[in-house]
Amino acid sequence: MEKPILLDCRGVWKLYGAGAQDAFKRHGGALSSEDIRAAGLVGAVRDATVQIRQGEIFVIMGLSGSGKSTLVRCLSRLIEPTAGEILFEGRDLLSMTDKEMIDIRRRKMGMVFQHFALLPHLTVLQNAAFPLEVQGVPRAKREARAREVIELVGLKGREAYYPRQLSGGQQQRVGIARSLAVEPDLWFLDEPFSALDPLIRREMQDEFLRLQGMLHKTIVFITHDFDEAIRLADHIAVMKDGRVVQVATPEELVLNPATDYVGEFTRHVPRSKVLTLRSVMTPGVPEGETAGELPQTQRIEAVADQIESSALPFRVVNAEGDVVGSIGRQAVIDVLIGRKPAP
């Protein structure tokens, strides 16, 4: 059963420049690239439509300048879109008052942006607890929660430090902790791990996946790292020149890129990291002896050694435990070496 839509973005535009609204209306909301240039405008986001479902990690990807950060700021209404509709829990964000938006951001949305803004006169503990203080949470309770998330991001022992006493990566971890403290329904994360070293970055990815497994929150995550995207994402939106050119699962992006641009993004990604057993199995109930069962959603990379070391194929099962196919070592080897299976 498909999950309900939490955030519904319909035909959103963000044009920068004098007379943007007038130009949009003059062209009936159908501006071409030539129209935008002729009007002296910059089309940061152009007719973007995405649907983000409850409990999923939705990744937005694109090269620098593709519009991904601007789109996220429109979704959270940190900047006002030129046109379009944005529904959150079925309510129109663009019609809300400033007071209503402030309340939603305090209680429903968490944000970690690439250029985070820690409060320099507050300690690490006070920065992490600050969103809870704004909500009126008692001091003992908010500081206890802040200590939990500070330990989570690897800063235990630095609770009394000030931002100026921390490295850039440590400061970013404080920003991540501050976002985690509130446990919002919807997280906006704009390249939150970009300043972290590879080991800590991997640990933070693991932590987000662990939290997601427990809390089933909805996460909108921006990254330019496709490996990070395929590890985290349920769905990925690829942007180019302000437009969303494809929205799909990581597996669908690799198997069926909608454009050459998307194909370039996925061309050098090891297929074993992306493809699941469902996409390469032999459908149907296998005959004869098998080595065991594996879930159809398991990625090839995770079970390649297990399958390769067995002379017998494995049964592939769906979420209900029904056998839907089988997979043997040859299919896995084909994926690992990049060879297409025989038709």
- What is the CATH T-level fold of the domain 272-337, as seen in this structure? CBS domain Like (3.90.1280)
Handedness of CA 88, 94, 98, 99 (dihedral sign): negative
CA 125/CA 135 separation, integer angstroms? 16
Output the pTM of the full model. Answer: 0.84
Given this model, what pLDDT does residue 128 score?
94
Please give the structure tokens belonging to residue 231: 């590890």
Residue whose C-alpha is closest to residue 103's, from 112, 93, 113: 93
Please tell me what DSSP assigns to residue 196.
S
- Cβ(166)–Cβ(116) under 8 Å? no
Per-residue confidence in pLDDT tens, the chain, 343 aa = 678 999 999 999 999 999 898 888 888 888 888 999 998 999 999 999 999 999 999 999 988 889 999 999 999 999 999 999 999 999 999 999 999 998 888 888 888 776 667 899 999 999 999 989 988 899 999 999 999 989 988 899 999 999 999 987 788 789 888 888 887 889 898 888 776 778 777 877 887 787 777 778 899 999 988 888 988 999 999 999 999 999 999 999 988 999 999 998 888 888 888 899 998 999 999 888 999 999 999 999 999 999 999 999 999 999 899 999 999 999 999 888 876 654 4
- What number of CA atoms fall less than 13 Å from residue 49's CA on the CB side? 3
Give the CA-trace dihedral at 332, 335, 340, 343, to 10 degrees.
Answer: 30
CA 254/CA 227 separation, integer angstroms? 12
Question: At 85, which helix (H) or strand (E)?
Answer: strand 83-88
* Chain region(s) in the chain for CATH 3.40.50.300: 52-85+93-108+184-269
CA 273/CA 283 separation, integer angstroms? 21
Please give the structure tokens belonging to residue 192: 């939150």
- Cβ(47)–Cβ(240) under 8 Å? no
Question: At 228, which helix (H) or strand (E)?
Answer: helix 226-232
Given this model, what pLDDT does residue 341 score?
54
Which residue's structure tokens are 């998307």?
262
Burial 130-168 (b: 16+ CB within 10 A, else e): bbbbeeebeeeebbebbbebbebbbbeebbebbbeebee
Provide the pairing of β-strand 186-190 with 109-112. parallel
Please give the structure tokens belonging to residue 288: 């004869």
Please tell me what DSSP assigns to residue 275.
-
In DSSP terms, which residues pair with 190 in a beta bridge? Answer: 222
CA 305/CA 143 separation, integer angstroms? 45
* Chain region(s) in the chain for CATH 3.90.1280.20: 272-337
Provide the pairing of β-strand 186-190 with 218-222. parallel
Residue whose C-alpha is closest to residue 272's, from 254, 258, 257, 294: 254
In DSSP terms, which residues pair with 293 in a beta bridge? Answer: 315
Which residue's structure tokens are 């999923």?
56
52-85+93-108+184-269: in CATH 1.10.357.10:
no
Handedness of CA 219, 225, 228, 229 (dihedral sign): positive
Residue whose C-alpha is closest to residue 247's, from 56, 76, 81, 49: 49
